[in-house]
Structure 1
Amino acid sequence: MSDLSDLPPQASWTDAAGCTHAGAVLHRVQGFDVVDCAHCGFRHVLPLPTPQALAEVYAHDYYRTEKPLYIERYLEDRDWWECVYTERYEWLEAALPATRRRLLDVGSGPGLFLASGRDRGWSVRGIEPSTQAARHSREQLGLDVVNGFLDADSAPTLGRHDVVHLGEVLEHLSDPAAMLRLAHDLLAPDGLLVLVVPNDDNPVQRIVHRHLGVAPWWVAPPHHLNYFDAASLAALVSRCGYTVEHQETTFPIDLFLLMGHHYIGDDAKGRQAHGWRKTLERNLHGAGAEGRQLLAGMRRAFAGLGMGREILLYARRSGD
């Protein structure tokens, strides 16, 4: 019989709606516990910040204090992002009739994804909480971007869309299921949801943490509240009224840590590792169909092993 002292500690917390979130504590960082929550079906921090507290952070502080170079770096990487976004739009264009090209980007950031769609003939709109990023989108790129949060008040003003895109949004929210239900209401019948979230606690990260003694750098409260893998993300999406059509993962940049390139906490080394990844993907894109097929096969293989830095999921609104 196992010694109870060997079992992980448990934590529980009850939210304002009376729901109890409980599970084994996986990590303790900066006063937060990360639990494998039985109620939610995915890992998240306890306690969860209020929506009001999050709104204040992301409206004014996130890009200025947490990621002061984000917009600058994003624009530096524009040619690589164009490759990434081209693939995403090509998938959507193959999955929808040519007459359905209305897209809403939730958390649209500095606007390059929207600009890429506009250049392909899509009708695009964004909603972005950061005043800095929304201003850049409107003033520098001429995009239709609302400065605010997608919530029950703003959703009715945004219209219906064929695609709702949430790139690296769900990990920041205290209630990701509520966001997915709002997105469902914004989609036209048979519309498509696109999600990108970090693929956290993946096999490479666990090996680096447990066997190389590196602290779990991917655990980053209060900005990252939720921690998904492919199975927990797909289950959440399905519960919220969608049918998952495709999942893949992006390049596992964590592999560089296993190669001895310790970029955690070192901005210059981090940019170097990201540069290697960009060069690889740009070169494969530049090789035409053969290179792109190889890149797609690599992503499928990585996803099959649970590897990859982010999860990319496409799902269709169901119940129509």
Structure 2
Amino acid sequence: MPAEVSRSTRPAELREWQEHKGPMLDTINGFEVIDCQRCGFSHILPIPTTEELERIYRQEYYTVEKPHYLERHREDLDWWNLVYERRYRLFEKLLPPHRRRILDVGSGPGFFLLYGQQRGWETLGIEPSAQAAAASRQMGLKIIEGFLDRSIFEQPATRSLLARFDVVHLQEVLEHIPDPIGMLELIYNHLLNPGGLLCVVVPNDYNPLQGILCKFLNYQPWWLAPPHHINYFCFDSVERCIRAAGFTPLHRQATFPMEIFLLMGENYVGNDPVGRRVHGMRKSLELNLAAAGAEELLSEFYSALASRGLGRECLVVAAR
């Protein structure tokens, strides 16, 4: 069933739930999306319970929600390795040569860690999905199966692995959890060395191009995906979270603005074949520029997009 989204043309109504309060942006499948004044970012109401999230991510995520994710990640590995190379190069530019210990929270199939290991980094992943954790271990990676919360430090088997790190990486994690600032504070206080780096990647939602598509081309807000996506960030709001946890943002960069394809008439929303085709076009752009030695040009392009709040995802690197 397609999501049923309601958008009012009247002034936004205020909504309150527990300690959360803010104007309502959308309603979808029994959830309301508010721009929360307390949190400093948009999120759904009600917020799912810990038990509901554990069921989703331990058992269902890679079998029900994203059944093709692992297979497609392997298919796209040449492109993903290009993405990973840019990221590790940035870490290595910002850190001294002897600091090469990284924790990937929500490590998924493990290819980001595998690339880092091959580059000479000491790696560890935390991953709630049993399927993804098993796939990572088959590649020889160290993985803690579970969630990053305070209980993980109380387990002798995992506590010994969780010494301080030089980089903590979270790709597409903060949108899934009920307390993003709490997780970032945990990382700041217990996991990162002084001067260490936090790298956060989140979807860039309610961005200007999405607004144009909804207002002028009658698109519904296709990026809404509760209960899997609880939170909806932009560059400014994710940086607010990062600062609230004590970090100092150093660098922001966008990923390719996939909404451009919609503006050109390539409607990939709910259409997987079109989605794969335009994703292939984005991959070709980046791979061809890399082959031409124009990586710096690509990086400058994505930094320029980030400065205008554009791009499908927000990447922010911050220091402890």
TM-score by length of 1: 0.94
Per-residue CA deviations over 1:184-203 (Å, capped at 9, x if unaligned) read 12001111100000000111
Name the structure 2 match of 1:124.
123
Aligned residue for 1:275, secondary structure, equals helix
Per-residue CA deviations over 1:71-124 (Å, capped at 9, x if unaligned) read 001111100000000000000001111111110000000000000100010000
Per-residue CA deviations over 1:39-95 (Å, capped at 9, x if unaligned) read 001100011011221111100001100100000011111000000000000000011
Aligned residue for 1:33, secondary structure, equals strand
The answer as to 2:7 corresponding to 1:7 is: no
Aligned partner letter, 2:222: W
Aligned partner letter, 1:36: D
Name the structure 1 match of 2:183.
179
Q: Do the aligned partners of 1:129 and 1:149 also contact (CA within 8 Å) in 2?
A: yes
Name the structure 2 match of 1:303.
306
Q: Do the aligned partners of 1:22 and 1:39 also contact (CA within 8 Å) in 2?
A: yes
Q: Do the aligned partners of 1:102 and 1:163 also contact (CA within 8 Å) in 2?
A: yes
Q: Do the aligned partners of 1:155 and 1:186 also contact (CA within 8 Å) in 2?
A: no
Measure, in 1, the Cα distance between the counterparts of 2:192 and 2:305. 31
Q: Do the aligned partners of 1:155 and 1:182 also contact (CA within 8 Å) in 2?
A: no
Q: Do the aligned partners of 1:103 and 1:164 also contact (CA within 8 Å) in 2?
A: yes
Range with bigger deviation, 86-95 or 179-188:
179-188
Q: Do the aligned partners of 1:193 and 1:315 also contact (CA within 8 Å) in 2?
A: yes
Name the structure 1 match of 2:33.
34
TM-score by length of 2: 0.94
Name the structure 2 match of 1:79.
78
Name the structure 2 match of 1:224.
229
Query: What's the % identity of the aligned pairs?
Result: 50
The answer as to 2:304 corresponding to 1:315 is: no
- Post-superposition offset of 1:155: 3.8
Gaps of 5+ in 2: 1-8
Name the structure 2 match of 1:17.
none
Aligned partner letter, 1:88: R
Q: Aligned ranges for residues 97-112 of structure 1 at < 5 Å?
A: 97-112=96-111
Aligned partner letter, 2:141: L
Aligned residue for 1:231, secondary structure, equals helix
Aligned length: 305
Name the structure 2 match of 1:240.
245
Aligned partner letter, 2:104: D
- Post-superposition offset of 1:125: 0.4
- Post-superposition offset of 1:183: 1.2
Q: 2:256 aligns with which of 238, 241, 251?
A: 251
Aligned residue for 2:170, secondary structure, equals strand
Measure, in 1, the Cα distance between the counterparts of 2:69 and 2:167. 25
Measure, in 2, the Cα distance between the counterparts of 1:21 and 1:238. 20
Measure, in 1, the Cα distance between the counterparts of 2:91 and 2:304. 22
Measure, in 1, the Cα distance between the counterparts of 2:55 and 2:165. 28
Per-residue CA deviations over 1:262-298 (Å, capped at 9, x if unaligned) read 010000000001000000000011111xx11211121
Name the structure 2 match of 1:53.
52
- Post-superposition offset of 1:304: 2.1
The answer as to 2:151 corresponding to 1:153 is: yes
Structure 1 consecutive aligned stretches of length 4 or more whose deviation exceeds 6 Å: none
Name the structure 1 match of 2:284.
279
Aligned partner letter, 2:303: R
Aligned partner letter, 2:307: G
Name the structure 1 match of 2:169.
165
Range with bigger deviation, 304-313 or 109-118:
304-313
- Post-superposition offset of 1:303: 1.2
Measure, in 2, the Cα distance between the counterparts of 1:275 and 1:171. 25
Measure, in 2, the Cα distance between the counterparts of 1:209 and 1:221. 19
Measure, in 2, the Cα distance between the counterparts of 1:188 and 1:76. 35
Name the structure 1 match of 2:6.
none
Aligned residue for 2:300, secondary structure, equals helix
Measure, in 1, the Cα distance between the counterparts of 2:130 and 2:141. 14
The answer as to 2:61 corresponding to 1:62 is: yes
Name the structure 1 match of 2:195.
190
> Over aligned residues, Cα RMSD in angstroms?
1.0
Gaps of 5+ in 1: 15-19
Aligned partner letter, 2:151: D
Aligned residue for 1:6, secondary structure, equals coil
